[in-house]
Structure 1
Amino acid sequence: MPQEDRLKVYPLSEIAHLKVHGRTTGQLDPLTLFWTGSSVELNAQGSELWVEVEVNYDQYEPWISILINGVPVSRLMLTAGRYWVCIYRGMTKTAIKNVRIVKDVQAMSADSECLLQIHAVKFDGECTPIEEKPYRIEFIGDSITSGEGAIGAKAETDWIPMWFSAIDNYTAMTAEALDADYRVLSQSGWGVLTSWDNNPHANLPDYYEQVCGLLTGENNKALGAHEKNDFASWQPDVVVVNLGTNDDGAFHSPEWVDTATGKAYKQRLKADGTYDDEDLAAFEEAAVRFLNKIRKYNPDAPIIWAYGMLGIPMMPAIYRAVNAYRMQTGDKQVTIFQLPNTTDGTLGARQHPGKLAHAKAASELAGYIKEVLRSSKP
């Protein structure tokens, strides 16, 4: 690298003004980015900036997006190893650049070796304070919230990290519209009660208390993924739940057999094709339990169940669950919002919402969140 002696290396723990987005353990040497949309942000006053990453994976490599002053300027596949990545160079040294390095890919529960860490930065300037945002939003969801298919051609069908985006995603777009910081907890194929293929262990509520408990393997455990999340350190102003799509899928998928116990699981349909009453009630009860859990750790935040980008077959059950929760608890700060459905014109890769679908959903959801925030103020 030309004139390398003018660049100084700073471990993340030595940077006075550094903002970390997404659930983490609080450890900075190094910083592990677990969830989609997790990122590091800094206001860099210098002409050249590099970051030192450490990457590993068995099947699913991490991708990152680089934003300068709020605009995506680069998107990279990160191969395995520990090395330096150039974020920018040749820029005006005295100008302050807001830099965000964003993890584009979800936490990969199916790849226990998948890892993205940031060790240090190297540059020729200094970091300045970052202005705090007025709001914080937590998003909980499935492949839609992970941004699966938000990037890529409609013809793409491969399930690979390339087709995930944390930027062309309603979560990031909603947060930008509201000038909010945000966090995402999402996993493709997972639901409230069960996954799309009837696996009862693949549900978000079971892992909500942990930093990133859905990750497996001894390495993730050692990194603190299974530690209890410090909810007091980051309290959202709004929690958005976008789940139910995969719970519907379970009714239309074959049974799932637990190889450890031999027990089979299946969300059943009646002869007329409607949901089995008992299994549908189990979904509703799981939704009520999850709302109670969210409220336990976020006592003041309005909760919005936002659903509908890939149809609304579970909407009646979601309404019943929310009404049951409200009746049981007296909690009126839980509401439902129907997201706009994806059309042929807004479809992305892998039969998932594309960027246009995410933009429309974000626009409508942001407007609704504004109303909720106004009405929740004393």
Structure 2
Amino acid sequence: MLSANQLISADHKNYLYSGRIDFSQPQAPLLSWPGSSIKANFTGSYLAVVLDDQKGKNFFNVIIDGDELSPYVLEAKQGQHTYVISSVLADKVHSLEIYKRTEGEEGSTYFKGLELADKSSLLAPPQRWSRRMEIYGDSITSGMGNEGADNGADHLQSEKNNYLAYGAIAARELKAELHTISQSGIGIMISWFDFIMPQFYDQLSAVGNNDSNWDFKLWTPDVVLVNLMQNDSWLVDREKRLQPIPNDAQRIAHYQDFVAGIRQLYPDAYIICALGSMDATKSEKWPNYIRAAVNNLKTSGDSKIDTLFFEFTGYGQHPRVAQHKANAKKLAAFVREKMHWD
């Protein structure tokens, strides 16, 4: 006879949520941003995840007992479904992380809870890391195509894995909780679609340009990384889609205004203005716009701001995991130095 299972509702106190998550329905928190995650500790041999997905395009890593090299990759179907992760776990205490690999363009997902064996339980969650990082970025930050073959396509949803993007890797190395505010194709002046990061960065929901509002008082980062302008470089210089074409001073001003807005939100955070590792760092043109903006902000009295550039490797597509790991190493070392984190 099959043993009965129990649903541990999503509003249980022993879940540890991370990211910009919409809790307006406590029993169905809504995850949309890449890197949004749920951690828990549980007992027993059975585990299933209950999700209600908007579009049927999202992918999640389900990591049990810290085995991040062999995650269960969950491909969400549209609507509500129960996904059995395992029925043959060792009958002991296990750790769990459910991590959104994909981003807002794949839609949002309601987390409805976990199914455990009838006599199993959800234990106290892991401790939340006290350090905090936030990143504003584009497809590089999201992890677009990072699991693709070097000679293959890099647009497949199944090969977009934010868990192995440079920011997420660096944050884990630094033991810092990370909020990733990114959207493939987005820019500061122009995007491949009809909204830009200055219209998008303050949303609670990552699904397109919408009227949701994130409460910045809920969570304050110690470090903010801005890695934008790759798409601007293509769309302004190569595609010439922004007319009239902005001059150098206007490009600097747009970037500077965005970063100044972030500074207003976070007076005490250390802001890192980054670029790369795609071809916007092939020459010094676009890095110099960022340097100029940062120098202007420093001249205005901002002492907790700096630049960091990830070198263009010559690879013509989105960075693969190996490049993300190298960039993560550089970022983590930079943050350690600036923040005096051991």
* TM value normalised by structure 2: 0.90
* Whole-Å separation in 2 of the counterparts to 1:242 and 1:65: 24
Deviation at 1:129, TM superposition (A): 3.0
Mapping for residues 192-207 of structure 1, pairs under 5 Å: 192-195=188-191, 197=192, 201-207=194-200
For 1:358, the equivalent position in structure 2 comes to 324
> Kindly tell me: are residues 214 and 121 of structure 1, through their superposed partners in 2, closer, same or farther at Cα, counting changes over 3 Å?
closer
Measured in 1, the distance between the counterparts of 2:148 and 2:233 equals 26
Matched AA of 2:265: Y
The amino acid of 1:374's aligned partner reads H
The structural deviation recorded for 1:134 is 3.0
Task: Quote the Cα distance in structure 1 between the aligned partners of 2:291 and 2:178.
Answer: 26
Is 1:302 aligned to 2:270, yes or no? yes
User: In the alignment, is residue 316 of structure 1 matched against residue 316 of structure 2?
Assistant: no
The aligned residue for residue 12 of structure 1 is: 10
Stretches of structure 2 lacking an aligned partner (at least 5 in a row): none
- 1:119 Cα deviation after fit: 0.9
Q: Deviations over 1:15-42 (max 9, x none)?
A: 2211112112233321111111111111
- Go from structure 1 to structure 2 and tell me whether the alpha carbon gap of 1:115 and 1:67 turns closer, same or farther (over 3 Å shift): same
Once the two structures are TM-superposed, the CA of residue 352 in structure 1 deviates from its matched residue by: 0.8
Matched, 1:229 2:214: yes
User: What secondary structure sits across from 1:85 in the alignment?
Assistant: strand
1:55 is matched with 53
- Structure 2 Cα separation of the partners of residues 70 and 307 of structure 1: 31
Preserved CA contact (<8 Å) 1:305 1:337: yes
Change (3 A) 1:136 1:305: same
SS of alignment partner, residue 194 of structure 1: coil
The question of 1:156 aligning with 2:127 is answered: no
- Structure 1 outlier segments of 4+, above 4 Å: none
Looking at structure 2, the residues matched to 339 and 267 of structure 1 have their Cα atoms a distance apart, in angstroms, of 30
Give structure 1 stretches of 5+ with no counterpart: 257-264, 269-277
Q: State the Cα RMSD in Å.
A: 2.2
- Once the two structures are TM-superposed, the CA of residue 69 in structure 1 deviates from its matched residue by 3.0
Residue number in structure 2 paired with 1:87: 85
Provide closer, same or farther for how the CA distance between residues 207 and 214 of structure 1 changes in structure 2, counting only shifts above 3 A: farther
Determine if contact 1:340/1:360 at 8 Å carries over to the other structure: no
Q: Which residue of 2 aligns with 1:373?
A: 339
Assess if the C-alpha contact under 8 Å between 2:40 and 2:122 holds in 1.
Answer: no
AA aligned to 1:24 is I
Is the 8 Å Cα contact of residues 146 and 318 (structure 2) preserved in structure 1? yes
Deviation at 1:236, TM superposition (A): 0.9
The structure 1 residue matched to 2:96, chosen from 89, 96, 99, is 99
Contact 2:32-2:104 within 8 A present in 1 as well: yes
State the 1:52 CA deviation.
0.7
Contact 1:145 1:169 in 2 (8 A): yes
Counterparts of 1:207 and 1:352 in 2: how far apart (Å)? 22
Q: Secondary structure at the match of 2:221?
A: coil
The code of the aligned residue for 2:261 comes to: K
Q: Distance in 2 between matches of 1:339 and 1:352?
A: 13
Distance between the aligned counterparts of 2:63 and 2:206, measured in 1? 28
Q: TM-score, normalised by structure 1?
A: 0.82
